[in-house]
Each structure stands twice: as C-alpha cells, then as structure tokens.
Structure 1
Amino acid sequence: MQEYIPIIDISDIYQNNKSKHIELAKKVDYACRHSGFFCITGHHISRDDIQTITSLSRRFFDLSMLEKQTISILNNQIYRGYSSHELEQLDHKNSVDYKEMFDMGYPLGKDHPEVQRNEPFRGPNQHPEALLPGWTEVFEAHYQKMTELARVLFRIIALGLDLKEDFFNSMFFESLSTFRVIHYPALPEQHNRVVCGAHTDYGILTILYQDHVGGLQVRSKKDQWIDVPPVQDGFVVNIGDMMAMWTNDRYKSTSHRVLNIGQDRISMPFFTEPHPSQLIQCLPYCSDMQNPPKYEPVTCRDWLLKRFKTAYSK
C-alpha cells in the first residue's frame, strides 16, 4: 500500500532550503501522477486541534434529529449545514451512502455583493452555536488552519508542475473550499457494507483526517480496492476532478469509497476549491501537439453546481 499511497513528511517545506523543497515536490508529483493519493505528516495541524474538533462533532451528532435539523442543509441553497443519512448519494447506480454530515465554507456576510446577488454557494455558515456554545469559534479557526495547510500543499504541487511557487494561492481568495465532518454509524450487522459509494472528488485537492477506525478504500490501476489505513497525526491527500482537468490528466482523480467495518467512525475532509469565477483550463506544460487539452474550460462555480446537483438529486 505504501508504494501506491506513499507517506510523505512535508516538514521540509517549512524550512528555508530550496533544494529540499524541490526534492519534496518530486515525491508529491510522483504520487499525484501514479495514484492521485498520498499521506502527509510533518504538517502544522496539532493533535489537540483534531481532538477538539472530533469531540465537538461527536456531541453534535449525538443530538436528536430534531435538534440537528435546525441547521439542515435543506434550509438554504448554498449546501451548508447538516445533512441526514442517505441525503447525499455519490454513486447513483447503487445509492448506498449511509452517513450524516456537517458542512461549512468560507463565511460571507449577507451584505457581501455575491450574497446579495444570490450566487450559488455564497453566504454565511449554519453553525449549531445555540446547541453547542463555542462551536463557531472553534470551527471557523480550524477552517483557517486547513486553508493554510492547503496553501502549503499548493506550493509543493506548483513546484512539481514547474510553475511559480505561489501560482495556485492567488486563486483562493474567498474560495469555495469546504470543511466537512462525516459521521458513519457502526452498523454492526452490516459489516463491509459500502456506506460511501465509489466516486471521485469534485475539487482541486482533498485533505482528509480519518480517525483510527479505517474503512477508506482506493481503486487501483488494476481495478482492485486497496485499504488506506489511518496514519497517526497524518492526513490523506488526494487529487480532485478540477486538478485532473487543470493538468490534462497528468494528475489522477482516483475513485474511492468507504466500507462499514462495524465501528462508529468520524472522517473530516477539507475540499479545496478556488474562487467560484476561477476558470479551470489546461495549465502550462500539461499539453502539447501529441497530447492536446482534453477538457473544455469551465468555471469552478459551474463544475461544482453540476456535481452537487447530481449528488443531491432524488
């Protein structure tokens, strides 16, 4: 597994050593080309941060359905808040998903021009502050920390693509990045049931914390499902569809799923996505006469709307 989904210590990117930055970028570039998945350690997200978020999340999911539904994602058009079991289906051929979730994004006030225009995905978050005082401050702070980690990873990836180190980061002003907490119930009588259907992620990069339970699987090039065991204090990182389109499939957006293995599970992905107006089109050095661009340019907003409407359709 480690060869296909390598564990990469990214601590060198925080040091002022250009040669080590390049060496690190080569490791990440290889993983993005080979499987589209890798695990990172050596980041600056503390274990205490993760434990605090996990503890608060479990308290939220333990609330009654009536209480959780006060911040239902169905209350708005921007896909933020609580989603109950079976609301989102990522594999419509099988419709197997069984999970509940909380979603938040970049907070925009009601007076922001994009909110005033009722643009998709734009608006304030729905936090359960009335039910769990202190939640908002903790989650908004964690969102910012995950945004900074994403910026670090984009520096590494830009170097691997022979781009300027800050190439991607300027595109993430008031971004559409989403922080999600997922609760998978234990379902002890349904061992090995697929509870999150096979899918590729929509965005640029996904940075995932999974607890000690496991259950995540990645589809290999040989069409086999490979377990991705949790790495202590690590994150799983994978390429999303928009990065695959940006790189003309040089980087792989790989199908993955989640199995129920009989234990209650918390999973916390941070889906990185740029500003809604950002055009996703083939990057420099990712096409030539023998390998022309494969995808029509599309804005981040339009691509996400297409994917979300499919996932939440009845």
Structure 2
Amino acid sequence: MMDNSNTNSAETLSSITNLNCIDLSSSDIHHSVSLLKQACLDCGFFYVINHGISQEFMDEVFAQSKKFYDLPISEKMKLLRNEKHRGYTPILDEVLDPENQIKAVGDYKEGYYIGVEVPEDDPEAEKPFYGPNVWPASDILPGWRETMEKYHAQALEVAKSVARVIALALDLDAEFFDKPEMLGKPIATLRLLHYEGQISDPSNGIFGAGAHSDYGLITLLATDDVVGLQICKDKDAQPQIWEDVPPLKGAFIVNLGDMLERWSNCVFKSTVHRVIGNGQHRYSIAYFVEPSHECLVECLPTCKSDTNPPKFPPVRCGAYLSQRYKDTHADISTYKKS
C-alpha cells in the first residue's frame, strides 16, 4: 500500500473509487449510453471492456515499451522529442501542476510520443502535431515501430466507438464525432509512460504526474497492475479528496478532456487526476484523441439554452493544443549542449 503520511492538509485520500464499466460488445446500446452518461456527469472517468484489442497484443505493447525504457539513457536521448512532440521525454521534462510543484522541478516520469504518421514532404506535415514520427533503429528494437503503429491504429478505432456512445449521451447523432474535421483526421497521440519508482511527496510537490486535466476529447489509458492513478471529482473542494482508480485487467480507463467539457458547456466533466508513485516501477500507455487542427470547438446545440448560454468562446483545436503543450513542457533548447 502507498504511504499517504506526506499528504498535506489541503487534501485527503478516500478509499477506492467505483467507476462505471462500459461493454463495447454489448447489444444494449441504451444501457451503455445510460452508464456512460452517469459516469460523465459524475466524474468523467469510466472503464471500457471488450473493446476489440486482444490481451495478447496488449501484453506485447507493454513488453515493447519496457524494452525501450530499459535502454541506456544515452540511447534514449538520441530520440529526444522534437518541436512536433514526437519522441522521448526525459524525467522532469513535464510540469503538469506548476502551482503545487514549486519545490520540484518536474514530473517523475519518462515518456515517448507517437503521433499520426505524416511524410515530411506532405503539406499536412507543416501543421503542429503532424509529421514523421521519431523511431528507434530497427536493429536496436526490432519490430518496435510495427507494434506501435498497429496499436495506434487499433486504439483509434476503440476511441471512435467510445465517441459514438458519448455522442448519443449528449443527444447527438451517433456519428457526430466521425466527421472529417473531427475524428476523420484526428490529432491522435500515443504516449508510452514509465514511472521509475520515485516515492511521491505531495506536501513537497513531488509527483509521478502532477494534478491536471487532459486537453482534448477523450483519453484511453491502459495500465499495468501497479496502483498510482488518483482522481479528484471536485477540484475546488477544500480539502481536496483524492480517490484511487484501480487497474482493471484488459480494460481501458477512459477519461474526458477539456475540449469535451467546452463542447458540452460543462455538462460533462474533464476531471483532475494525478499519479502518485509508491516506490514501484509503473508502466502505462495513454492514447490522447483530439479532433483535427481546423476543428472549431464551440458549445454544442444540445448543451445550451437561454438560461444556460455558452460558457467558453469558440477555439480552434490546433491552436488550443499548441498552447497547452507549451505551458507544460520544457523548452527543447534547454537540452542542447552549449
């Protein structure tokens, strides 16, 4: 069990949260919509099971991720992330909760970004978050690229299935998010994560991942069996109450992002969450799904009225994401040798 003795007075830890479980193979779509809607109104987190990705393949993706993180740091730094957010992010590269991480210098995790593969000579590659990926050499990690590309494609199909249930829960057509300007040409980013065993100390701002909400539409998270993920259903509560989200074998933990909160006019929540390290190595795989660069995120017609006008101005997805990444990641130039 994790040691919570360092938790400061501004927060408390309740026990384990109970999340709704959405079965994507179920023929009872009304039941799935009801469960999902309840989850989105309550906490913005839920499990998805029977999603179509085999356990054998999931195990292979985790095994390949571990092989990368087992490489010497000198090899990993050769694949340092670029300005398109592709490649390796070292320990402390990201600061997700700067307000409460003043005494720390960043999150105690390392990551690897893999986005939508776009050739360098394609005009689309000029856009943020699009372009060629950064890949380890095949002689160092044979089959690694192929495994990650296959997973990227399969996870996108799962995300589209989840988005259809979300659309129905918002009283929209099931295909609402399938439009070309939305998930037809998404900014979909796979991120392999490794927490290397640091024990978190919230009172001193030391976290595996600081408290934050995700930026986009939805996130699919696969984890190993090591606990660490916590959510705070009411970020404004004093004291804050943090709840553990236990791993569920074979399931994705799905959470809503800030764009969906904007789209739904705060009907659905993007909930604050964090990762607390307990001294064990922990591996997880996050898949962030955002609409296209040009997509205008504005209040949905089913989520506004004369008495409930839009709470946010419209915003272009690409511009919004670029600013959020800039706010939370170290400047790449800090890694360059003088």
Shift of 1:291: 0.7
1:241 is aligned, of 258, 277, 285, to 258
The aligned amino acid for 1:10 is: L
Give the partner amino acid of 2:71.
L
Equivalent residue runs for 1:199-278 within 5 Å: 199-221=212-234, 222=237, 223-278=240-295
| Residue equivalent to 1:63 | 71
Partner of 1:186: 197
Structure 2 residue 63 is the aligned partner of structure 1 residue 50: no
Aligned residues: 303
Distance 2:67 2:148 in 1: 14
1:249-300 deviation line (CA, Å, top 9, x unaligned): 0000110000011111001111011111111000121010111001111111
- In 1, Cα distance between the equivalents of 2:77 and 2:17? 43
* Cα distance change of structure 1 residues 208 and 46 upon mapping to structure 2, 3 Å threshold: same
Partner of 2:152: 143
Q: SS of the counterpart of 2:142?
A: coil
Q: Structure 1: which 5+ residue stretches go unaligned?
A: none
What percentage of aligned pairs have identical amino acids? 38
Aligned counterpart in structure 2 of residue 87 of structure 1, from 88, 93, 110: 93
Q: Which residue of 2 aligns with 1:128?
A: 136
Alpha-carbon shift at residue 127 of structure 1 (Å): 1.2
Q: Does 1:100 align with 2:110?
A: yes
TM-score normalised by the chain length of structure 2? 0.86
For the residues of structure 1 that align with 2:282 and 2:195, how far apart are their CA atoms? 5
User: What's the counterpart of residue 112 of structure 1?
Assistant: 122
Counterpart amino acid of residue 283 in structure 1: L
Distance, in Å, in 2 between the alignment partners of 1:24 and 1:51 is: 27
Secondary structure of 2:185 counterpart: coil
Q: Identify the residue that residue 11 of structure 1 maps to in structure 2.
A: 25
2:327 corresponding residue in structure 1: 310
Given the alignment, which residue of 158, 178, 198 partners 2:211? 198
- CA displacement 1:168-189 (0-9 Å, x = unmatched): 012212311111010000136x
Counterpart of 1:204 in structure 2: which amino acid? L
Contact 2:19 2:46 in 1 (8 A): yes
Take 1:174 and 1:136, find their aligned partners in 2: how far apart are those partners? 21
Displacement after TM superposition at 1:109 (Å): 0.7
Q: Structure 2 unaligned runs (5+)?
A: 1-14, 332-338
Q: Would you say the 8 A contact 1:191–1:262 is kept in 2?
A: no
CA distance in 2 between counterparts of 1:174 and 1:125 reads 17
RMSD of equivalent CA atoms: 1.6
Compute the displacement of 1:191 (Å).
Answer: 7.3
Which one-letter code corresponds to 2:23 in the other structure?
Answer: D
Normalised to the residue count of structure 1, the TM-score between the two structures is: 0.92
Q: Any idea what the Cα deviations from partners look like across 1:234-259, whole Å, max 9, x if unmatched?
A: 11111100000000000001100000
Aligned match of 1:156: 165
- Name the CA shift for 1:96/1:224 in 2 (closer, same or farther; >3 Å): farther
Would the aligned equivalents of 1:204 and 1:241 in 2 still touch at CA under 8 Å?
yes
